[in-house]
Structure 1
Amino acid sequence: MSSNPSNETIISLLEQAKTIAVVGLSDKPDRTSYQIAEAMQQAGYRIIPVNPNLRGPVLGETSYATLQEIPDTIDIVNIFRRSDSVPPVIDEVVQMSSKPKAVWMQLGIAHDEAAKRALDHGIEFVIMDRCIKVDHAVLLKGKKRNS
């Protein structure tokens, strides 16, 4: 698997994206997934929680058990699952009728085979082992996205 896209490509992706589905988002405010999703929401992105264990809204947004249940267009699928749990998420991503532009595996998460499968099925970008919140803060200087 080749390396992550260039910083310029990531900047462009973050500037154009509107909606981020967060797979593995917790409803507990002390969890990293919640904190990062909340920060991205505050930066102007719509966050869609994806976690079969959630029973209600998180961060004011309806939660879904699977990516297929989401009725809206997703720009980025942000994964907060162990690396060995990534392939089933990618299976869901490639079956989505409206494919996201990117799959983003959070810091510490990488799966080369799953990344290749996503790219082979029309996902434009796969980012692995990087924190979307940190990249947003550093590359976009934390600026809010223009709605």
Structure 2
Amino acid sequence: MDHNFYDDGYLTDILKSVKSIALVGASPNPSRPSHGVMGFLLSKGYHVIPVNPGQAGKMILGQKVYGHLGDIPERIDMIDVFRASEYLAEVVDEALALSPRPKVLWTQLGVREESSAVRAEQAGVQVVMDRCPAIEYPRLLGHHPVH
């Protein structure tokens, strides 16, 4: 897949179909982009699970933080990645080790690493790179909650 362009229908289908989102790189700091995006996703009715080893066991926006994807005791539909591009291979390793696997790997603005995206896609995971769901959601779905 060409990760420079995504069809609006592809993005809309993802945003409408996922319910649980693991947010990798979640921050308790309100000035961090991940904090704002997590709050936005929660406000739209998604179940958001923050992932951050340094914050494991604490709470961010009322949600329990897990240290790693593999520590989350429930099914994850989508992983939203707020980590630098060089960490994406590690996130994909963790994601592909999950059972069941998440349906979607979504990386935030500026997060791109083609070989990791290809590995995820070859394992049947849909990939969106270098996009922000808090930008795409209002653009594609307006202000209505999806659930």
- 1:46-125 maps to which residues of 2 (within 5 A)? 46-55=47-56, 56-123=58-125, 125=126
Q: CA deviation at 1:9?
A: 1.4
Q: CA deviation at 1:121?
A: 1.5
CA distance in 1 between partners of 2:61 and 2:100 (Å): 24
Where 1:49 maps in the other structure, the secondary structure is strand
Task: Output the TM-score relative to the length of structure 1.
Answer: 0.94
Partner of 1:139: 140
Identity fraction in percent? 34
CA distance in 2 between partners of 1:86 and 1:23 (Å): 10
Q: CA deviation at 1:142?
A: 2.6
Asked if 1:7 is matched to 2:3, the reply is no
CA distance in 2 between partners of 1:108 and 1:15 (Å): 24
What's the C-alpha RMSD, in Å, of the aligned pairs? Answer: 1.1
Task: Output the TM-score relative to the length of structure 2.
Answer: 0.94
When structure 1 is superposed on structure 2, of 1-10 and 95-104 the one drifting more is: 1-10
Point out 4+ residue stretches in structure 1 off by more than 4 angstroms: none
- 1:5-44 maps to which residues of 2 (within 5 A)? 5-44=6-45
Contact kept? 1:104, 1:128, Cα under 8 Å: yes
Q: How many residue pairs are counted as aligned between the two chains?
A: 145
CA distance in 2 between partners of 1:32 and 1:142 (Å): 20
Structure 1, unmatched stretches of 5+, are none
Deviations 1:21-71 (A, max 9, x none): 000000111110000110110011111000001040111111100000111
CA distance in 2 between partners of 1:142 and 1:95 (Å): 35
CA distance in 1 between partners of 2:116 and 2:143 (Å): 30
Contact kept? 1:78, 1:104, Cα under 8 Å: yes
Structure 2, unmatched stretches of 5+, are none
